[in-house]
Amino acid sequence: MKRLFLLCALLISAASHAGYSTTQYPIVMVPGAAAFDTALGVDYWYGITDRLRLYGAKVYVTNLSSIQSNEQRNEELYQDIIAILAQTGAKKVNLIAHSQGALSARYIAAVMPDRIASVTTVFGMNRGTHFSSGFRAAIPEGSTMEQLIAPLIDGAFNFVELLSGVPQDGDYNSQQRGQQSILALAKATDPANVAVYNAQYPQALPKVDCMTIANGTQGDVSSAYYGDPVVNGVRYYSWGGDAVRTNLLDPIDDLFVTFVQAFVPSNFKWDGLVPTCGHALGKVIKLNYGHNHFDAINHTLGLGYLFMDIPTLYVQHANRLKNAGL
């Protein structure tokens, strides 16, 4: 009964706010690591894309390789953007990216700025994750442990790729992705390697690497260090948070976040996977939302954060883009 009441309230609200999220250009969702479109009937952007469409947004979902290098994912996203532009006839698109997807979205805006209206990173991995360097320290290159564990993880995510997109979320379906590699992901998201990547694609990044300020312990970087909100005609936005565990009933919090914490230094603010200060890009909407890296895409199945309607953040942002003429 409660769910039915909530659905009715949403429908009434959407009807009274027709076009609230109807942006000038389509919205393209860019997933992070462990990416998928829809698997076993569950969307990566759980409840988020449905809500955006309910309020009038035209939304297209991309599926990049689950665990792969930035270069591989960049090329996949490039092909997806070209296909979506052709399918829709749009001159530009708005990119909304989560986690590692932030790195690919920034690349796309750098190489084809005339086709990108805006880039928004949600809990973006703009400074990498210390989990990757900790993982590599615990499982050295060429070790027996690596030879045992890496194929198991790769196999699991290859299976996720087989499931992804059947059915699909929305009117666009990415091509089936190739072989997954946890070792490629660990290299791609190591903070030192991301710093090199950032030197190639620095647009809209804060002027100072937040990890050099008190070793990242401040979390929310001073606005004096924020990046440029507009670069080469592309508008940049970001938001993030500083919570680690938000619901004891959420298996991601109980299992994965606990596992990750064993590899991450304890002296800085983080969101359960990446440093909070690394969320900042362009115009910062907020960096201290009280939910974690996985709540940001409304997982697990909306259990993650009980005190905020996560899809509403995306609906409000779509309205922000609309009001900016995007």
Longest dimension (CA), the chain: 60
Active site residue 271: yes
CB 262 within 8 A of CB 270: no
Catalytic residue among 21, 99, 174, 181: 99
Say which DSSP state 200 is in.
Answer: H
Listed in order, strand segments (DSSP E) in 18-115 are 27-30, 38-39, 42-43, 59-61, 93-98
CB 158 within 8 A of CB 181: no
Structure tokens at 104: 């690919």
Listed in order, strand segments (DSSP E) in the chain are 27-30, 38-39, 42-43, 59-61, 93-98, 116-122, 230-231, 234-241, 283-289
Q: How many Cβ atoms from other residues are within 10 Å of residue 126's Cβ?
A: 28
Measured at the alpha carbon of residue 226, what is the angle toward residues 221 and 228, in degrees to the nearest 5? 165
Active site residue 293: yes
Catalytic residue among 271, 295, 299, 317: 271
Active site residue 223: no
Dump the DSSP string for 120-148.
Answer: EEES--TT--HHHHHHHHHS-TT-HHHHH
Helices and strands in the chain: count of H runs, count of E runs: 11, 9
Residue with tokens 């379906």: 173
Label residue 123 exposed, middle or buried (CB < 10 Å: 0-12, 13-18, 19+): buried
Catalytic residues: 99, 271, 293
